[in-house]
Amino acid sequence: MNILRRSRVATRGVLALFIVLVVMSALLVDSSATSSSPTTTSTTTSTVVGTSSTTTISTSTTSTILGTTTTRPTTTTFPWPSGDSAAVAVPQLSVVAASPNQPRVPIASLTKLMTAWVVLQQFPIAYDQKGPCTVVNAADVAFFHENLSIQESTAKIRLGEVLCEGTLLRGLFVHSAGDYAMLLVQLTRMSQSKFINTMNVDALSLGLSQTHYADFTGISPQDLSTAQDVVRITVDLMTSEPVIDSIAALTKVRLPVAGELGSYTPFIGTDGVVGVKSGYTLASGGCVAMAINVMLGGIIVPTYEVVLSQQGPNGLNVAGAHGIALMKALRSSMSVVSSQGVRTVTWTGSSSDVVPTTTTTTTTTTTPSI
């Protein structure tokens, strides 16, 4: 009997201990779930300030890392030009954003982005290579004077002058020379109509569904596109053609007959602006496709900003100022994270306005300071 009683008491003790352990385990699970589950709240407002439409997305994220709960508020503000077409991209983070309004408008010399693309598909070269050459003929000189008479950007050429692809691309990008565009077309041995047709075929193959080219210089008001399309061809050129990435950073270029000519890209060499292409006609207004480097904790992140249709005599600088404002908005939505000795740049903005194409986080390497 005593043995039986002790057995029952022992059983009750084990049962009680089991119940206590179950309760404690449940409490621990509940506590863990509460502390580790992120909570996110977001609000979206749209306001019009002056001549710019500003979209603000505010997000507050609570997370637990190694037992420490942290709350990180993030705000993404894009000061899109009011009623006009603009777009941004951060290919390193697979991030693209565009203004709500994407009208199909004249793009002036941004057309030359595709001119260069077509030539480089036939004759890819490195920055230090000359590439194929052509001899300036009487028709080329006549084209130069024709462009000069309508105030199209040009670089002086001379009958019999030999110009090679590398030099022509420099004149095309740095000084937007229309006659250099013509000489690049000649390098391909295509007729002008075939070259323009190739531009449009390649545009469709690159997904530029709202783009149409009527010439290879951009002087025609029928050279049409949207900022969203232009930012795509800009990124494609800069990331797949290293020669363009190098040329775009030049603030000036010395050409054989024309001498030293400067870049038309607004603010190049300041605020991280490394250039790319600009354009202006009465029909298009000021248009820019800008590459701007953002420095985050010693890591350089290339960003791209396209702004179209900025009217007025100072339209080009206005477009450039909008581009810088958009870059600053992008920079405020990026941060550097260190984990196990690896430093990465991550997108901290809201995905409701900026839609990632693949992922929002990338591992980067530290670039030497410049």
Looking at the structure, give the CATH architecture of the domain made up of residues 72-363: 3-Layer(aba) Sandwich (3.40)
Of 289, 249, 276, which Cα lies nearest the Cα of 370? 249
Inform me whether the pLDDT recorded for 49 exceeds 60: no
Inform me whether the pLDDT recorded for 74 exceeds 80: no
Per-residue pLDDT tens digits for 297-319: 889 999 999 999 999 889 999 99
**Residue ranges of the alpha helices (H) in the chain?**
2-36, 112-122, 138-149, 165-175, 178-187, 192-205, 227-240, 242-248, 315-331
CATH 3.40.710.10 in the chain: give the residue spans: 72-363
Segment of 243-247, 294-298, 359-363 carrying the highest mean pLDDT: 243-247
If you average pLDDT over residues 103-114, what whole number do you get?
A: 97
> Residue 119 corresponds to which tokens in the numbers above?
């030539």
- Give the pLDDT score at 179: 96
Average pLDDT, the chain: 80
Burial classification of residue 62, based on how many CB atoms lie within 10 Å of its CB (0-12 exposed, 13-18 middle, 19 or more buried): middle
- Give the pLDDT score at 134: 96
- Give the pLDDT score at 176: 95
The 8-class DSSP code of residue 100 comes to S
Q: What is the number of H-type helices and E-type strands within the chain?
A: 9, 18
Inform me whether the pLDDT recorded for 8 exceeds 60: no
Inform me whether the pLDDT recorded for 51 exceeds 80: no
Q: Which residue has better confidence, 13 or 123? A: 123
Inform me whether the pLDDT recorded for 125 exceeds 70: yes
Segment of 16-25, 31-40, 141-150, 205-214 carrying the highest mean pLDDT: 205-214
Is the overall model pTM greater than 0.95, yes or no? no
Inform me whether the pLDDT recorded for 295 exceeds 50: yes
Per-residue pLDDT tens digits for 201-245: 999 999 999 999 999 999 999 999 999 999 999 999 999 999 999
Q: How far apart are the first and last CA of the chain?
A: 90
Per-residue pLDDT tens digits for 276-294: 999 999 999 999 999 999 9
If you average pLDDT over residues 325-345, what whole number do you get?
A: 91
Range 142-146, long-range pairs (CB < 8 A, 24+ positions):
143/179, 143/182, 144/179
